[in-house]
Each structure stands twice: as C-alpha cells, then as structure tokens.
C-alpha cells in the first residue's frame, strides 16, 4: 500500500517526489518489520517464530490458489478443531458453522467498500488519500489469507478490514444499519464460541 501511495498521496508534489516519498515510507515500514524480527529472535531464538507458528498451527505459508483456499475455508467447520464434551449452549451449537456466515459477511463488506468508493469517484471525481489507502488495504487484507493459506485463522486476519469504515461511512444509513446488524449477529456467535472454548 505504501508503494502504491505514489499514485494517490502527496498530490501537490511532482511525480519523482511522490515516488521518493512512497519508497521512503515503504522503507520505514520495512525497518519496522526488521525490528519485529529482531524482537522475535531476542525472545525465541528464531527470526521466523511467527511464520513457524502460523505454519504449524494453521498451515499457512507459501503461495496458494486463492479460490481453492476460499472453498477449503468454507468447507472446514470450526467444530472440526475444538468441540467441548457434553451439551453445548444454544449459541455455540448454532455457531459451529459461523465461519461460513463470516465469509459472506466479509465479502459483503468488501463489496460495500467498493460501492462506496465507486460512488465517491463518480460524484466527486476523486478519493482523498485516506480513502484510497483504506480501499487498497481492505482489498489486500481480504485476499492475503487466501493467497497464504486460510485454514482456521482467516477470520482473524479479516478483522483488519475495519479501515474500510472510512468509506462505508459515506453509504446510506440503512446500508450501515444492515451491516451493523449482520456484524452484531455474527459476533454474538463467535463470542459465544470463544467463551465456550470452541473457538480460540
């Protein structure tokens, strides 16, 4: 996103200056990644501790076919991972396939963000810098888990799509209300599963 910012940020600067600023911002972010790697090495003795955990726990790593990963994630119920013994509360019992609803909710959110961006572009002929960044990040956050491996943890990754709210705020109130209601229902299921030990 920082590299792409040369196309939408710093509108008052010339093209070479915008490219230099984008490259400098990306380089600073890369320094942050290196700092995190150093801290991991200090704490665990491994530079790739996070990647190793994701690979061992969620089979993430490498490059996958995204639509195949979406199908695999959709077909893999939470209950195949964790299911406590004995009777389950009503919300938990009905939430064992909540990942399917979550995928539809995430896709709907992405479509709402795209629609809001399209309307802004048609009406105002532009998006501001924060809105362009939100659009790029929302799309990238949605697709990245499906390129890297989406087993079990993709719903966590997608929580980062909240930046798309910068665009959703321009949608009609009824669309925002529907989104809020769908999120409330979905997170009631996920919350119940978490506290019951089904979802970790």
Output the pLDDT for position 168.
Answer: 94
Residue linked to tokens 């600073």: 28
What kind and span of H or E run contains 180?
Answer: helix 173-195
d(CA 55, CA 58): 6
What mean pLDDT comes out for the span 120-148? 90
Output the pLDDT for position 174.
Answer: 95
Output the pLDDT for position 79.
Answer: 65
Q: Measured on CA atoms in the order 42, 43, 48, 50, is the torsion positive or negative?
A: negative
Output the pLDDT for position 188.
Answer: 86
What mean pLDDT comes out for the span 112-139? 93
The string of DSSP codes covering 67-126 is HHHHHHHHHS-GGGT---SS---HHHHHHTTHHHHHHHHHHHHHHHHHHHHHHHHHHHS-
pLDDT surpassing 90 at residue 36 = yes
Q: Give the count of alpha carbons within 13 A of 5, CB side only.
A: 23
The answer to whether 175 and 165 have CB atoms below 8 angstroms apart is no
pLDDT confidence of 11, banded at 50, 70, 90? confident
Q: What is the pLDDT of residues 38-70, one digit of tens each?
A: 999 999 999 988 888 878 877 777 788 888 888
Mean pLDDT of the chain: 86
What mean pLDDT comes out for the span 14-34? 94
Token pair recorded at residue 161: 């799509």
């Amino acid at each position: 996103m920082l590299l792409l910012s040369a196309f939408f940020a710093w509108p008052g600067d010339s093209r070479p200056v915008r490219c230099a600023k984008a490259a400098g911002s990306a380089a600073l972010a890369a320094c942050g990644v290196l700092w995190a790697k150093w801290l991991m090495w200090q704490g665990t003795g491994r530079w790739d501790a996070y990647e190793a955990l994701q690979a061992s726990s969620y089979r993430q790593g490498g490059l996958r076919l995204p639509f195949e990963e979406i199908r695999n994630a959709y077909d893999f119920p939470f209950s195949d991972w964790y299911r406590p013994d004995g009777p389950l509360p009503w919300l938990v019992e009905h939430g064992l396939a909540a990942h399917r609803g979550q995928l539809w909710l995430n896709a709907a959110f992405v479509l709402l963000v795209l629609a809001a961006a399209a309307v802004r572009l048609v009406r105002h002929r532009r998006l501001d810098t924060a809105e362009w960044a939100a659009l790029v990040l929302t799309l990238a956050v949605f697709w990245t888990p499906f390129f890297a491996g989406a087993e079990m943890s993709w719903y966590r990754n997608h929580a980062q799509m909240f930046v798309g709210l910068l665009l959703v705020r321009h949608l009609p109130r009824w669309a925002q209300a529907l989104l809020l209601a769908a999120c409330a229902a979905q997170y009631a299921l996920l919350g119940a599963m978490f506290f019951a030990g089904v979802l970790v």
